[in-house]
Amino acid sequence: MIDSHTHLDHLPIPEDEAVAAAREAGVRRILTIGMDEASWERSRAAAERHDDVFFAAGRHPNHAAGFDGRALDALREVAAHPKCRAIGETGLDYYWDKVPRGEQAHAFHRHIELAGELGKPLVIHTREAAGDTIATLAERADGVTVVLHCFSMPERLDECLERDWWVSFAGNVTYPRNGDLAEAAERVPLDRLLVETDAPYLTPQAVRKHRNQPAFVTHTARFIAERRGLAYEDLEAAVEANAAALLRW
């Protein structure tokens, strides 16, 4: 199994312990996400310490303020690292609305351009901004490989699938109240499906009393396999192949 999106630098347990627990659970690759400059450095360092850890770098929309040319150059530099396999997470967040929407959009546009320039996948965060997120990607991300992290737009699934975007599900797909997400997880073509933890957030239902960690991605994968009527091993093989093709690891 793989964890296509986690935050090793935000976990409540030491990084080495989390990576070891993931390995013991059968998680063979981890993509940890840097959300601002300090987090990029921590994510890069984690990837350098562990052969099975890779990283992505970007400015989360809640950290998008002041994303100027200097910040873009710094992101371009860290993205050149051989273990940086994606740009992001980036996008729009109207739930917290911590950064003016115009500044979020500006940073989002620059991330899209950089992903296209570097030929790296673009990891998308969107919260209560589905319409503007999809419209921006449809207008600006032609030719860019788009990954919809922690998929939260089941009502817009068909539009996403029509554009061949990758769809990644986190532990919230397992929550009883999220039947619409579970139905979306059944419908995504197997060759466009990813799983993630977004740890330390969104712990799967089966272990919800704990803070999330990469090892717990297996609970989300098992839930999706059962919903799709697949053996866990078959889903595991498909997701591992998808991540290998997408992230080139």
CA 5/CA 194 separation, integer angstroms? 9
CA 185/CA 66 separation, integer angstroms? 36
Torsion region of 55: left, alpha or beta (phi above 0 gives left; psi -120 to 50 gives alpha): beta
**Closest-CA residue to 120 (of 130, 111, 107):** 111
Looking at residue 209, its pLDDT comes to: 95
Residue ranges per structural domain of the chain: 2-247
| Domain at 2-247: CATH code | 3.20.20.140
Looking at residue 228, its pLDDT comes to: 98
Answer for the pair 79, 118: CB distance below 8 angstroms, yes or no.
Answer: yes
Residues of the chain with pLDDT under 50: none
Query: 37-49 and 69-79 helices cross at what angle (nearest 10)?
Result: 10
Task: Write out pLDDT tens, residues 198-241.
Answer: 999 999 999 999 999 999 999 999 999 999 999 999 999 999 99
Looking at residue 103, its pLDDT comes to: 97
Looking at residue 225, its pLDDT comes to: 98
CA 237/CA 249 separation, integer angstroms? 15
Looking at residue 171, its pLDDT comes to: 98
CA 64 to chain centre: 17
